[in-house]
Amino acid sequence: MQSGKNVAKILKLFYILILYGFLVHVAAQHAEYPIECKTDDDCPAVVIRSIILNLTYVCMDNFCVSRIARN
C-alpha cells in the first residue's frame, strides 16, 4: 500500500517538472529582445506601477534593464 503512494508522489513530481520545463521553454521562446539605449530616456518610462513598488527601466551597459524604484 505504501509503495502505491510513493509511485503516485513520484508521478506527480515528474508531471510538475515536465510542466515547469515546458513553461520555461515557452517563456524563453517569447522573451523580448533587449532594448538598446544610450541614456535612461531611451528606455520605457514605467513597466508596472503599484502601491508597493514601481518597476522601471534604466540604461545599463547600453541596454534597458528593469529596476525596482522605491515609492
pLDDT tens digit sequence for 1-18: 577 788 888 899 888 888
Strand blocks (E) in the chain: 48-49, 54-60, 63-69
Q: How confident is the model at residue 45 (pLDDT cuts 50, 70, 90)?
A: confident
Question: Mean pLDDT, the chain, as a whole number?
Answer: 77
For the sheet with 54-60, list strands across it: 48-49, 54-60, 63-69
What are the CA-CA distances from residue 4 to residues 15, 17, 24, 31, 67 (Å)?
17, 20, 30, 41, 48
Quote the pTM value. 0.45
Q: How confident is the model at residue 67 (pLDDT cuts 50, 70, 90)?
A: confident
